[in-house]
Structure 1
Amino acid sequence: MKDNFSKNSADYAAFRPEYPAAVYPYIFSFCNDKTAAWDCGTGNGQVAKVLAENFTTVVATDISANQIENAVTKDNLHYSIQPAEQTDFDAASFDLITVAQAIHWFDFEAFYAEVRRTSKKEGVLAVLGYGVFSMEGDTNAILQHFYKDIIGPYWDAERKYIDDNYTTIPFPFEDLNTRTFENTYSWSIEDLVGYLSTWSAVQHYKTKNGKDPVALLFDDLQKTWGPNPKKKANFPILLRIAKINQ
């Protein structure tokens, strides 16, 4: 698994979008029990914290110590630095395994073997993500140009799985029927810039060129922003769910 997020883990915790509240009870409705859950590639723990409010015990793993240092804490939430593909968890441990906006970085075959090993009989795997977002008004055209043409060459190859809305990830399980979710934010220009700064392609651009592409974009964003201090940002939610070890 690649680690593209340790350097800006504080920004990641501050600016990354959350998942809509309705997605969680929908996922939980597939679970037979709520005793134990594992959140893989937990990052700042944004999913793990919700799991901890609904499951007796939650473990959350990431390969980035910096991400975990900035993660949410709960009494029944236990973090460890481990790759999702090889953990020290006991077999048949979890009622639910989640991976949010991270599976495209994993070694699929090794990860799915670990899912099968650690899942209880009829445990649930929920793969979440958020697709390429859009903003209202003329600002969206500026952002699409930025995404595709300015930093497009700097995305890792795995980003294509996001562009394909996770429909092309290897998924060796029977998909359960899933609803469609989306999340809408009211963002200031500072919120938008903060989010863009968390993108791995932006970090790669900065490393290669010695300058921040988001800063170069700022004037164009201001010109299209208009009189209102906030604009709507819409994120399509990616979701695949399966029962494991049936």
Structure 2
Amino acid sequence: MNYFNPRNSAERYSIGRPDFHSNTINHIKENLHIDRKLDRALDIACGTGLSTKALLDIAIEVYGTDTSQEMLNLALEKDKIHYQIASAEQQPFTDNTFDLITVSSGVHWFDIDKFLMEANRLLKSKSWLVLYDNFFISEIVGKKDFSNWFPEVYKKKFPSPPRNNTYLWTNENLFIKNFNLVTEERFKNTVAFSKKQLALYFTTQSNIIAAVEKNETTYEEVENWLDRELSPFFDNDFQTQEINYGNWIKYIQRLN
């Protein structure tokens, strides 16, 4: 199931996801020593284009693909970015087209072996596949109890749907696919959220989307529950809290 196909999911995603992709792109620019714009960059599983528009800073031509038409209907910077509907494993481009391919918070939904074969086909020799994820680590600055609430209350009520989190990102495995994992990077991003904004973010997660799509609950019921559950961590509806997200980046280079 594609949890981001429904219109409700796309609409919530477009307004509920924090935009810190520019920070990640700055890390990529520095690590790959990009001192002039690349010719072409592709963002796969682009969603509504938050991760895609960040590529405009480092590439002349930017492309974004996704399997959800509802997401692409809400995509950003359509006058500057070429968007198309396509699966990660079957892209509508010719061989050796791109200097850079990025995937933000999406590779765990792929058939990864098939995706790597496709990325190898699309990339120019010695070019880069960069995978990264901004993920919720349940840290509100100054609110230690929140780190327990997220796994013990939220995730027990709304468990994560199955995803491919066990792939072997080793060079022994990647060499066979003509790739080399050069380095990895980890850091944190901090976002200021009000209680309502944090609740909206949660409703963009596949945990809640899955429950709604299975008719186990409704968004209204979830929002009321989140309002009650999050109240102890906010003094009022208008206060914002600093919330830390984790970020990892894998820098993977095509061998030849």
Shift of 1:17: 2.3
Kindly indicate whether the alpha-carbon contact (under 8 Å) linking 2:133 and 2:247 is maintained by their aligned counterparts in 1.
yes
CA deviations 1:111-170 (Å, max 9, x no partner) are 101000010011100001122322321334323323331112xx2211x72xxxxxx434
Q: RMSD value over aligned CA atoms?
A: 2.1
Residue 219 of structure 1 is matched in structure 2 by 228
The separation in 1 between residues aligned to 2:195 and 2:154, in whole angstroms, is 17
CA deviations 1:176-213 (Å, max 9, x no partner) are 22332211011100110100011111122223423433
The separation in 2 between residues aligned to 1:51 and 1:226, in whole angstroms, is 38
Q: Within the alignment, does 1:203 sit opposite 2:201 as a pair?
A: no
Residue 181 of structure 2 is matched in structure 1 by 175
Counterpart secondary structure, 2:239: coil
TM superposition score normalised by structure 1: 0.87
Structure 2 gaps, min length 5 = none
Which letter does structure 2 place at the counterpart of 1:79? Y
Shift of 1:214: 4.2
Residue 10 of structure 1 is matched in structure 2 by 11
Counterpart secondary structure, 1:12: helix
Shift of 1:241: 0.9
1:224 to 1:48, Cα distance in 2 relative to 1, 3 A: closer
Kindly indicate whether the alpha-carbon contact (under 8 Å) linking 1:56 and 1:76 is maintained by their aligned counterparts in 2.
no
Q: Within the alignment, does 1:139 sit opposite 2:146 as a pair?
A: yes
Shift of 1:101: 0.6
Kindly indicate whether the alpha-carbon contact (under 8 Å) linking 2:14 and 2:48 is maintained by their aligned counterparts in 1.
yes
Residue 156 of structure 1 is matched in structure 2 by 161
The separation in 2 between residues aligned to 1:185 and 1:106, in whole angstroms, is 28
TM superposition score normalised by structure 2: 0.84
CA deviations 1:64-122 (Å, max 9, x no partner) are 01001111024331000111101220100000000111110011111101000010011
Deviates more, 1:114-123 or 1:223-232: 223-232
Kindly indicate whether the alpha-carbon contact (under 8 Å) linking 1:139 and 1:225 is maintained by their aligned counterparts in 2.
no
Residue 242 of structure 2 is matched in structure 1 by 232
The separation in 1 between residues aligned to 2:26 and 2:61, in whole angstroms, is 17
Structure 2 counterparts to residues 1-246 of structure 1, below 5 A: 2-7=1-6, 8-19=9-20, 21-29=22-30, 30=32, 34-136=38-140, 137=143, 138-152=145-159, 155-158=160-163, 161=165, 168-171=166-169, 172=174, 173-206=179-212, 207-211=214-218, 212-226=221-235, 229-246=239-256
The separation in 1 between residues aligned to 2:26 and 2:187, in whole angstroms, is 12
Which letter does structure 2 place at the counterpart of 1:204? A
Kindly indicate whether the alpha-carbon contact (under 8 Å) linking 1:120 and 1:245 is maintained by their aligned counterparts in 2.
no
The separation in 2 between residues aligned to 1:40 and 1:20, in whole angstroms, is 14
Deviates more, 1:108-117 or 1:28-37: 28-37
More strand by percentage: 2
Kindly indicate whether the alpha-carbon contact (under 8 Å) linking 1:36 and 1:58 is maintained by their aligned counterparts in 2.
yes
Shift of 1:221: 1.4
Count of equivalent residues:
236
Structure 1 gaps, min length 5 = 162-167
